[in-house]
């Protein structure tokens, strides 16, 4: 018999019938306690929880994610809290990392790796603090994109773990996704009125517009974030993501001179952030200028030499330091009529299970 761990998994839910069952099934074999707080589901969420013998606590939604989260963790009885969303699952292969955290670092808050599935071929890795001691000293603040505080202050020391949560929320139907984006923007704007100088809130507004594909609105907010940061003494932990998201907004709106200036600044701050160089290479391909052709090759070779991102402060798309860059090198060699080298690059990418590379090789061979 497998012994579960002394952890309370805490989640707040509303209309999560698409994901809730797989979330619960990933937790049941691992944690001692699952705390579910429902804020008003009208779909099959509650029925699915009942089928899985999960006791549900009800909470009247008051437009504050922090208050709902704090209510959930106040119900926990185990010594360690794991906060998880309904559209996430715990990766069973990383349970030993949970054990390691409990054995050596359970008195500290800890980050986990959130692997978000953006689409069929893209996963993004980001680190978020989701493990912490069950103590009244740890509580969330903020109406939305809530932050964990210790004794009312921001947390400085966070342990890094290899625990992985898989996030599937980007698979949602377009209508529901738009509803969530509009709700999030409304809550963020409301909170910003009481904290007009908050770079974090402005950053989250920019991110929300970016995820929703509203690039011009995102650009306005990211630009303001950078202006606010330039007048501050400390660099916030989310600055790398500001540079990357802002950069993709400029890329997606073909504002390349501004993108080049932004990336030059970003390279100085974060020279080991592979995603920034990958973005630069992708933008050069999109521009289609012959004078940039050799720079394209050099940029993706540089990405491969850098490798995948390991610094926990960076949000990163999987493959920028490996199979995605090999694929784009294949595109370069194919465009310059060096077909054999292109096939080699595509094969390198395909060996890392990147399906578009395998398809590309098949197409080349078919039309020879």
Q: In this structure, what CATH number is given to the domain that contains residue 85?
A: 3.90.550.10
Q: Report the chain's mean pLDDT, rounded to a whole number.
A: 95
pLDDT score of 172: 64
Domain CATH for 275: 1.25.40.10
Residues 313-360: tens digit of each pLDDT? 999 999 999 999 999 999 999 999 999 999 999 999 999 999 999 999
327 and 201 both lie in a single domain: yes
Domain boundary among 129, 146, 171: 171
As for how many domains the chain has, the answer is 2
305 and 200 both lie in a single domain: yes
104 and 157 both lie in a single domain: yes
Report residue 163: phi and psi, to 5°: -65, 135
State the DSSP H helix or E strand holding residue 13, giving kind and residue range, or none if neither: strand 5-13
Domain boundary among 171, 204, 238: 171
187 and 158 both lie in a single domain: no
Burial (CB < 10 A; 0-12, 13-18, 19+), residue 133, is middle
194 and 91 both lie in a single domain: no
Per the model's pLDDT, the better-predicted residue between 148 and 170 turns out to be: 148
320 and 250 both lie in a single domain: yes
pLDDT score of 175: 59
139 and 184 both lie in a single domain: no
Residues 44-73: tens digit of each pLDDT? 999 999 999 999 999 999 999 999 999 999
pLDDT score of 233: 86
* Rounded CA separation 85/83 (Å): 7
293 and 321 both lie in a single domain: yes
Residue 322, domain extent: 174-366
* Rounded CA separation 75/67 (Å): 13
**Which range (70-74, 169-173, 218-222, 236-240) has the least confidence?**
169-173
Residues 207-219: tens digit of each pLDDT? 999 999 999 999 9
Residues 174-215: tens digit of each pLDDT? 557 778 889 999 999 999 999 998 999 999 999 999 999 999
| Structure confidence at residue 173 as a pLDDT band (50, 70, 90) | low
199 and 167 both lie in a single domain: no
Domain boundary among 171, 192, 224: 171
Residues 98-115: tens digit of each pLDDT? 999 999 999 999 999 999
165 and 182 both lie in a single domain: no
Residues 67-102: tens digit of each pLDDT? 999 999 999 999 999 999 999 999 999 999 999 999
Do the Cβ atoms of 172 and 212 come closer than 8 Å? no
286 and 262 both lie in a single domain: yes
* Rounded CA separation 253/130 (Å): 35
138 and 86 both lie in a single domain: yes
Residues 252-282: tens digit of each pLDDT? 999 999 999 999 999 999 999 999 999 999 9
């Amino acid at each position: 018999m497998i012994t579960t761990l002394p952890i309370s998994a805490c989640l707040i839910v509303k209309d999560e019938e698409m994901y809730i069952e797989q979330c619960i099934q990933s937790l049941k074999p691992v944690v001692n306690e699952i705390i579910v707080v429902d804020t008003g589901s009208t779909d099959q969420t509650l029925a699915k929880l009942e089928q899985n013998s999960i006791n549900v606590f009800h909470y009247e939604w008051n437009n504050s994610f922090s208050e709902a989260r704090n209510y959930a963790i106040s119900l926990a009885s185990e010594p360690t809290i794991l906060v998880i969303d309904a559209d996430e699952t715990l990766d069973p292969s990383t349970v030993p990392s949970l054990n390691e955290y409990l054995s050596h670092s359970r008195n500290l808050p800890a980050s986990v790796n959130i692997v978000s599935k953006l689409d069929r071929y893209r996963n993004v890795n980001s680190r978020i603090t989701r493990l912490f001691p069950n103590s009244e000293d740890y509580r969330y603040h903020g109406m939305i994109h809530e932050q964990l505080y210790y004794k009312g202050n921001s947390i400085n020391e966070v342990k890094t773990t290899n625990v992985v949560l898989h996030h599937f929320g980007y698979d949602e139907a377009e209508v529901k996704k738009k509803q969530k984006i509009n709700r999030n923007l409304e809550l963020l704007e409301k909170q910003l009125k009481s904290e007009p100088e908050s770079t974090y809130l402005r950053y989250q507004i920019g991110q929300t517009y970016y995820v929703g594909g509203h690039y011009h609105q995102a650009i306005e907010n990211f630009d303001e974030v950078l202006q606010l940061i330039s007048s501050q003494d400390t660099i916030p932990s989310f600055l790398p993501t500001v540079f990357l998201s802002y950069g993709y907004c400029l890329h997606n709106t073909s504002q390349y001179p501004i993108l080049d200036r932004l990336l030059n600044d970003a390279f100085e701050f974060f020279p080991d952030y592979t995603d920034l160089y990958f973005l630069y290479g992708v933008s050069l391909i999109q521009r289609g200028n012959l004078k940039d052709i050799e720079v394209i090759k050099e940029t993706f070779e540089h990405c491969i030499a850098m490798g995948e991102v390991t610094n926990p402060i960076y949000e990163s798309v999987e493959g920028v330091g490996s199979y995605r860059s090999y694929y784009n090198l294949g595109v370069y060699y194919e465009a310059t009529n060096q077909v054999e080298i292109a096939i080699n690059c595509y094969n390198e990418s395909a060996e890392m299970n990147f399906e578009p590379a395998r398809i590309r090789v098949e197409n080349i061979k078919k039309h020879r």
